[in-house]
Every structure is written in C-alpha cells, then in structure tokens.
C-alpha cells in the first residue's frame, strides 16, 4: 500500500518541474549576485544545521532505552576537543557571514551606480544609464522615460546589457517595486524619492509587481518588463511616441484615481516636470511644492531647488530667528528665519474657540 501512495505523489513532483524558480535563476547581474549571497549564506548555515540534525538522530538511536550496550558515563562533564568544535565552528561561520553581509551591503546598495554589466564585462566609461521614473499608484505602475518624453502604464521596456537607473516615488500609499529576475525590491514612498540601479542580461518578458500590501487592488498591481535589444527598444519608444494619449498634469490626476487591473498603455508628450511635481506633491493647480515651503530668509531653498513658480514675497514675512534652550549644548535650529504666510486669519478663528475646560 505504501509504494502505491508514493506513486500517487509522482504527478505532484512533475507539476513542480514546471515552476519558474526566478529568484534562483535570475536574468540580471544584480539579481544574480543576490542569488549567490542567498546560496552562500544558506550553505554556511547548513555546515552547522546538517551535523546537528544528523547527531540528533544518532544520539536518539544510540542511547535509546532498549540499547543495553550503550556506555553509561554519569560523571562525564568536560571535553576540551568538544568545546573547541562547539565554539570554533559557529564563530568561524559568524565571521564569514559578517564579512559577506558587509560586502554585500555596500556592493549591492541600490543607490550605487553599476560598475559591471555582468561578471565578465565592466560598464564602459562612456555608457550612460537609462533613466526611468517610476510612480506607484492605486493600483498600477506609471513609468516615465524623461529622455524620450514618453510614458507607460503597467509595462516597461529596457535594453539588454544597458545599466538602468530607476527613480521611484509614490502618488499614494507606500509600495514596493520588485522585478525578481532583475534586482531586489525597493520601496516607493509619497513625498520621497528612492533609487535602484540594475541591468538585464537576457532578453525576454519578466513579471514585476508590488511586494508591499497597499489595499483592495493590490493583487492586480502587476506589470510586464520587456528586456529587448537596442533595435527592439528603439521600436518600443517610437511606438510609444505614436500614442494618441498625452500625459500632462491633468491627465496624470485622472490616471491617479484608484483603478484595478489596468491594461498596459503608453503616452507621449509627457510633462518634463511631472515626476518632480509628484515627488513634491504639487501636481494639482495652485498647490505649493514642498521646496517652496522650505525657503530661508535669504530666499535660498532649504530642501532642494525650486521647481515651480517663485513665491510671492508680498504674501510672506520673516519670523524671528529660532534658537535652542540655553544649556542644551545644541546648535541653533537650521530653520531659523523661516518665511511664513502673513495671512493671520487663523488667529481670529483660534480666538473664537471656547477656552479648554479645566479637569
């Protein structure tokens, strides 16, 4: 009966043969290094785990209750050789894992520009990374190609063996950009910009998705990454330029409305300042960018360059410099002399509120 049960499991094993272990079989240099890091780390840990599991079975069998031939030594309490093995082996493994983690943390930093296209080929000195601006929305992905003036939704194309620099932000809640075949995931957050440098070394179509839960339509928040040769990439860009849809700020605000399982589409004539406006949360007409609020009393920005119209000086006044309390040993606040709106209508509203009740 038992052999029959084992035969019934064979179709399940055959089904597993059709699975795509993309994390262990990546198509990009960064993902391949991350795969190697995972495999080496697992192998180092198995140096301890496998002997412990084997010895557990051995001791359980050797010192079982029915084995009267087992040697009984109730007074044994120390073995120098055993102590050396118990402490030396884990210590060596921890040192190796620490060195591996330190190197991997710096070499695989997503903000670090690529030094190599693959293990055998360094990045040529005259190679410029392809820049793609990524915006996570509810529940879709927007990709902007600033050099070409085109954009796409739920589809992105990259040339084989060309470094890519992704600049990511979110138009809504936090998400995580993840193409397992290309590189590890990187978060996208509203009001912030994150970066990811990566490269694809094999042509094909690969799946990308959000790996951070973001609401009702999260399960359908997937996109296709097309890895093509230079000619195929140029053809994809030209096809996007022939799109009937343009992407200005009004079109973006319409696109940003929550929607699920959006089919892939392309846009042309993309507003060149759109991505920065999304980062600074000032896409809507009449809204001030974050950098416009962060302006010092001398007119210089405290949080990056101004990207929209200059502030109206008549609407702002300069506050008195702020300082730290005496005796704290802290330097003055950098925001001293911040400009604030001269409109004091909020004071009248505050004065009209009833006084707090004393408890």
- The model's pLDDT over 199-210, given as tens digits with 9 standing for 90+, comes to 999 999 999 999
Extended beta strands in 27-110, E state: none
Q: Has residue 25 got a pLDDT over 80?
A: yes
Q: Has residue 326 got a pLDDT over 50?
A: no
Tell whether 132 and 89 lie within a shared domain: no
Q: Given pLDDT bands bounded at 50, 70 and 90, which one contains residue 90? A: confident
pLDDT of residue 352: 61
Asked which of 248, 279, 310 is the last residue of a domain, the reply is 279
Tell whether 259 and 148 lie within a shared domain: yes
pLDDT of residue 325: 37
Which helix (H) or strand (E) segment holds residue 229: the answer is none
Tell whether 199 and 224 lie within a shared domain: yes
What does the pLDDT look like over 257-288, one tens digit per residue?
Answer: 999 999 999 999 999 999 999 999 999 988 88
Tell whether 275 and 199 lie within a shared domain: yes
Tell whether 88 and 178 lie within a shared domain: no
Tell whether 166 and 273 lie within a shared domain: yes
Q: Given pLDDT bands bounded at 50, 70 and 90, which one contains residue 319? A: very low
Tell whether 186 and 163 lie within a shared domain: yes
Identify whether 51 is part of a domain. yes
Rounded CA gap, 282 and 291, in Å? 10
In sequence order, which residues have a C-beta less than 8 Å from that of residue 252 and are 6 or more positions away? Answer: 142, 271, 274, 278, 283
Tell whether 237 and 129 lie within a shared domain: yes
Task: Output the average pLDDT for the chain.
Answer: 82
Q: Given pLDDT bands bounded at 50, 70 and 90, which one contains residue 336? A: very low
Count the neighbouring beta carbons within 10 Å of the beta carbon of residue 199: 26
Tell whether 149 and 243 lie within a shared domain: yes
Q: Which range of residues forms the domain containing residue 163?
A: 121-279
Asked which of 238, 255, 279 is the last residue of a domain, the reply is 279
Tell whether 44 and 134 lie within a shared domain: no
By residue count, the chain amounts to 359
Asked whether 281 and 253 are in contact (CB, 8 A), the reply is no
Give the tokens for residue 180: 């397992």
**Residue 341 dihedral angles phi and psi, to the nearest 5°:** -60, 140
Identify whether 69 is part of a domain. no
Asked which of 236, 257, 279 is the last residue of a domain, the reply is 279
Tell whether 144 and 189 lie within a shared domain: yes
Rounded percentage of the chain residues whose pLDDT exceeds 70: 76
Identify whether 348 is part of a domain. no
Place of tokens 């022939």: 242
What does the pLDDT look like over 190-237, one tens digit per residue?
Answer: 999 999 999 999 999 999 999 999 888 999 999 999 999 999 999 999
Mean pLDDT to the nearest integer, 82-111: 89
Identify whether 338 is part of a domain. no
How many domains are contained in the chain? 2
3-state secondary structure 47-87: HHHHHHHHHHHHHHHHCCCCCCCCCCCCCCCCCHHHHHHHH
Rounded CA gap, 157 and 237, in Å? 9
Identify whether 205 is part of a domain. yes
CB-hemisphere CA count at 13 Å for 173? Answer: 12
Asked whether 247 and 274 are in contact (CB, 8 A), the reply is yes
Mean pLDDT to the nearest integer, 339-353: 51
Rounded CA gap, 308 and 289, in Å? 7
> Pairing mode, if any, of strands 164-170 and 130-137?
parallel
Strands of 164-170's sheet in order across:
194-198, 164-170, 130-137, 140-145, 150-153, 265-267
Q: Given pLDDT bands bounded at 50, 70 and 90, which one contains residue 339? A: very low
Identify whether 342 is part of a domain. no
Q: Has residue 329 got a pLDDT over 50?
A: no
Tell whether 140 and 241 lie within a shared domain: yes
Asked whether 167 and 193 are in contact (CB, 8 A), the reply is yes
3-state DSSP helix/strand/coil % of the chain, to nearest 5:
35, 20, 45
Identify whether 288 is part of a domain. no
């Amino acid at each position: 009966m038992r052999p029959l049960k084992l035969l019934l499991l064979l179709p399940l094993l055959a089904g597993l043969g059709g699975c795509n272990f993309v994390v262990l079989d990546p198509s990009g240099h960064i993902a391949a290094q991350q795969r190697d890091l995972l495999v080496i780390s697992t192998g180092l840990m198995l140096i301890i785990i496998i002997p412990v599991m084997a010895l557990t079975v051995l001791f359980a069998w050797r010192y079982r209750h029915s084995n009267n031939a087992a040697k009984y030594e109730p007074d044994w309490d120390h073995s120098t050789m055993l102590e050396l093995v118990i402490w030396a082996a884990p210590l060596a493994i921890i040192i190796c894992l620490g060195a591996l983690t330190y190197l991997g943390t710096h070499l695989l930093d997503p903000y670090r520009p690529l030094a190599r296209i693959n293990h055998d080929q360094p990045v040529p000195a005259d190679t410029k990374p392809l820049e793609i601006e990524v915006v996570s929305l509810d529940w879709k992905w927007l990709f902007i190609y600033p050099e070409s003036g085109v954009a796409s939704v739920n589809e992105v194309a990259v040339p084989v063996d060309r470094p890519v620099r992704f600049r990511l932000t979110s138009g809504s809640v936090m998400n995580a950009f993840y193409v397992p075949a290309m590189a590890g995931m990187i978060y996208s957050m509203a009001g912030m910009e994150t970066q990811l440098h990566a490269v694809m070394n094999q042509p094909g179509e690969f799946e990308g998705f959000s790996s951070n839960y973001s609401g009702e339509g999260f399960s359908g928040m997937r996109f296709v990454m097309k890895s093509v040769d230079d000619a195929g990439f140029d053809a994809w860009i030209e096809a996007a330029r022939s799109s009937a849809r343009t992407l200005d700020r009004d079109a973006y605000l319409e696109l940003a409305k929550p929607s699920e399982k959006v089919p892939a589409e392309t846009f042309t004539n993309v507003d060149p300042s759109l991505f920065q406006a999304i980062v600074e949360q000032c896409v809507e007409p009449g809204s001030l960018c974050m950098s416009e609020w962060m302006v010092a009393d001398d007119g210089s920005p405290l949080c990056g360059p101004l990207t929209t119209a200059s502030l109206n000086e008549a609407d702002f006044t300069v506050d008195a410099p702020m300082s730290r309390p005496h005796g704290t040993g802290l330097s003055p606040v950098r925001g001293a002399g911040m400009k604030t709106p001269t409109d004091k209508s909020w004071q009248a509203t505050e004065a009209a509120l009833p006084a707090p009740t004393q408890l």
